[in-house]
Amino acid sequence: METELVEQTAQDYLDQCTAAINANPTMHRNTVDQWRYVCRNVGAGLDQWDHKEVSDAVKSFYGKAIVRCCILAGAPVPINNKQVVFWLLEAYEEQLDKLR
């Protein structure tokens, strides 16, 4: 029996990353450096999509993943949207450069 592959979008990928972050009961304790590490790993995984799709998809990651995670745990949000988008896109661009 053949398995049909479903093409995933950048938004699908980020939604899966968001679900993983929100399912982890300790993520709200992350320091800025730990959030940077998480965001850069997520961003590097976006290398299979074009820049427009990635740019559109990352806009909601901060609120859906990081803010939600921290607020639900009653913790302060240690980073801002600008930092998160920068880390995601920086790692995405670096990964594309490695693949060229």
Q: Which string of b and e fits 41-53 if b means at least 16 CB within 10 Å?
A: ebbbbbbebeeee
Whether residue 1 is contained in a domain is answered as no
Judge whether 54 lies within some domain: yes
Establish if 38 belongs to a structural domain: yes
Looking at residue 100, its pLDDT comes to: 86
Q: How far apart are CA 26 and CA 34, in angstroms?
A: 12
In a domain, 4, yes or no: no
Structural domains of the chain, count: 1
- Residue 2 within any structural domain of the chain: no
Q: Is residue 64 part of a domain?
A: yes
Could you tell me the residue range of the domain that residue 40 belongs to? Answer: 10-99
Q: Is residue 61 part of a domain?
A: yes
Structure pTM?
0.90
Write out the chain's pLDDT in tens, 100 residues. Answer: 565 656 899 999 999 999 999 999 999 999 999 999 999 999 999 999 999 999 999 999 999 999 999 999 999 999 999 999 999 999 999 999 999 8
